[in-house]
Structure 1
Amino acid sequence: MKNLSFINKIIYFINVIFAVLLLSSFILPYLPPKTFAVLAVLNLGVSFLIGINFLFVLYWLIKLKRQCFMSMIILLLGYFLYGSLYRFSSTTEVESPRNIKIMNYNVRLFDLYDWIPEDNTSDNIVAFIKQESPDIICIEEFHPRENLDFSFYKYQYKKIAGKKVKHGQSIFSKFPLINSGSLGFPNTSNNAIFADVVKGVDTFRVYNVHLESMHINTQVESLRKETSERLLKRVGTSFKMQQSQAEIILEHQKQCHYKVIICGDFNNTAFSYVYRTIKGDLNDTFDEAGHGFGRSYDFRFFPIRIDFILADKAFKINGFKNYDVHYSDHYPIMATLSLEE
């Protein structure tokens, strides 16, 4: 510190703040939001904190200052704990007759209120799904609009609710569904549904999960009007509800004797308590075969991944793809899986 200029001392002080915040975030997946709601909010900015600390490392390296080691050590610790934020390579998709392609897509009511500045968004979404032709697709914020044709899927399960605007979740499959149902989250329009899928001699369960939304408008002007106290309170309340919903999912899953795939919009990141709770011993298909940041939500400030496909370890992960089609505030994701012989 003695050899630093006054400006660099200020920069290092700011560096310390961001380094401590990032270090603190590493314990967030182990802190239940019902007890630590305010701290849980920090997990939304973990990718931002990683980026900022990386820039500080570059700055001090250019200056040839040993101050680079603080953020460098914390970033390395985060890497060994959670892996890389950016996946530099992806698994080349393995073609196999046993492959199952499963997609997840929050379609935001098929653009009911014309959020997307493009005509015929709902038709474009259906055409996109038909073109990519996943064997199974889980859809969140499904709105049963007129002329919405999913007849190219023989097997379907939908759970729709709502008084003014009917919406809910759906599972469409090319394989037979022998059982299906809804978990019915209390005091919310969010939910989780499931279907038991039969492919050949194998039966497995697919969950479509839509955890509580944080109800954050990501437009800059709207965020400026929001007081930090109100924002923290609302997000903290949502995280508490997410914890309760995750516990409902786990309790339901315990009664299932089939192999499980959990898809959905978690409205939270891979650094969160609810993600860690739901993931358990399952494999995150993006971690195993994805590429890049895995962005699945249209957040303008930095890439954020809140949509997941988690698979039982009995499944081999043969591929993963993030799509860049902008028909919703979410981007579709698809994993290619196969059951081990």
Structure 2
Amino acid sequence: MSRLFDIIMRIVTIIAMIGLLGSYTAPYINPNVFYFSSLLGYTYHYLLIVNIILLLYWIARWKKIAILSILIIAAGYPLITTYYGLNPQTVPDAPHDLSIMTYNIQMLGIGEKDAPAKIENYINNSGNDIVCMQEFPQREASFKKFPAYPYYHRNRDVALVSRYPIINKGVIKFDKGHSAACVYGDIAIGKDTIRVYSVHLESYRLGKNEQQIYKELTSGNTQNATQGVKTISSRLVTANRNRAKQAQIIKDHMLQSPYPVIICGDFNDTPISFAYHTLSEGMKDCFIEKGRGLGNTYIGEFPSFRIDHILHAPTLGTVSYTRDTVKYSDHYPVQSDIRF
């Protein structure tokens, strides 16, 4: 019986190893070329945990397969440091030149009676120099609700507000039918100028139907499981493919910037994704530099991931990173102090 159990555990371990190795490819394979890798990227966190548990089992059994398991887990160490913040507690009020925040405000907390006032007060009193917002109301009058920030720029549902002058601004255009939006502004801070992008990449467009499917699947109702998985997977793949294209368009624009770049926003993608990898290549991620733990930023109906990011040019430095856990929206706000 023990021998049969070992055989079953070996099969499970090999499948888990292959799955984990597959998830490692998600940041590097364009989903427009091969989409399955992008789906495996969502399972990275869970596959890593499963592989660690299986590793402990094989160590306890004193079996050589544990060595292979260690090697496969170790091969993904760069992704571990991208996914999990391993930094000590940051020093409060350390010297810095700029405070910046990104916040998906969900149309000012749509559906919640007191949410608009709470979000407005929170942002105005946050003390940040620049705030990048996504799902911003598409009304010019909305900027009047943020008097702490006299300079602003908006397109579609993304906005950029600043205490400092925006001396030049523009819009990144995407293919028709894409729901992404991105604006940028060149901001003069003393003798320095930086370019800041506020971005909202393609959403999954998961509505009430998909929410119901997800609830049924997670509650154990498998009656329509096959069709449900196909429906949600199709939405994920389409969004992954579109974000890959959008990220490349933004990256090409960033590379032409005459100033150091900071890009903030709701990428709608985890650190184990092609879109994130495209935008973060050659950049510093404030979470990796100063963050701790998982740092999940989405708190809606579906599984939580870190999909809101602050990246900056390597010539700049991260002083601190904070994810505030106020629940005025379906995202947490993310803030970072940066030095020039």
TM-score w.r.t. the length of structure 2 is 0.87
Partner residue, 2:57: 59
Q: Which of 121, 125, 131 pairs up with 1:131?
A: 125
- Distance, in Å, in 1 between the alignment partners of 2:66 and 2:126 is 46
| Offset of residue 176 of structure 1 | 0.8
**Which residue in the other structure is 2:197 paired with?**
207
For 2:151, the equivalent position in structure 1 comes to 155
In the aligned structure 1, how far is the partner of 2:78 from the partner of 2:329? 34
- In structure 2, relative to structure 1, the CA distance for the partners of 1:295 and 1:250 (3 Å cut) is same
Q: Deviations over 1:289-336 (max 9, x none)?
A: 111111111267865211110000111111101111122221111111
Which structure shows the higher helix fraction? 2
2:73 to 71, 75, 78: 75
After superposition, what is the alpha-carbon deviation per residue over 1:159-205, rounded to whole angstroms, capped at 9, x for unaligned? Answer: 23xxxxxxx01111111111112112222232111111110000010
Q: Which moved more, 1:95-104 or 1:275-284?
A: 95-104
The answer for unaligned runs of 5 or more in structure 1 is 161-167
CA distance in 2, matches of 1:37, 1:84: 21
Match for residue 183 of structure 1?
A: 172
Q: Structure 1 pair 253/301, CA: closer, same or farther in 2 (3 Å)?
A: closer
Q: Who is 1:307 aligned against?
A: 308
> Helix, strand or coil: the match of 1:214?
coil
- 2-side partners of 1:6 and 1:299: how far apart? 43
Aligned to 1:163: none
Distance, in Å, in 2 between the alignment partners of 1:291 and 1:177 is 32
Structure 2 unaligned regions, length at least 5? none
Alignment partner of 2:158 out of 169, 191, 195: 169
- State the AA in 2 paired with 1:134: N
Cα distance in 1, alignment partners of residues 216 and 308 from structure 2: 24
Percent of paired sites with the same residue = 31
Offset of residue 287 of structure 1: 0.3
TM-aligned CA deviation for residue 259 of structure 1: 0.6
- Say if 2:79 and 2:272, in contact at 8 Å, map to a contact too: no
Deviation larger for 7-16 or 202-211? 7-16
1:32 is the counterpart of 2:30 = yes
RMSD: 2.5
Is the partner of 2:265 in helix, strand or coil?
A: strand
* Distance (Å, rounded) in 1 between the aligned partners of 2:275 and 2:238: 14
CA deviation string 1:50-71 (max 9, x = no partner): 1221222233344454443333
- Give yes or no for contact 1:218–1:299 (8 Å, CA) kept in 2: no
CA distance in 1, matches of 2:82, 2:251: 27
1:180-259 pair list within 5 angstroms: 180-186=169-175, 187-216=177-206, 217=210, 220-221=214-215, 227-259=228-260
TM-superposed CA distance for 1:79, in Å, is 1.0
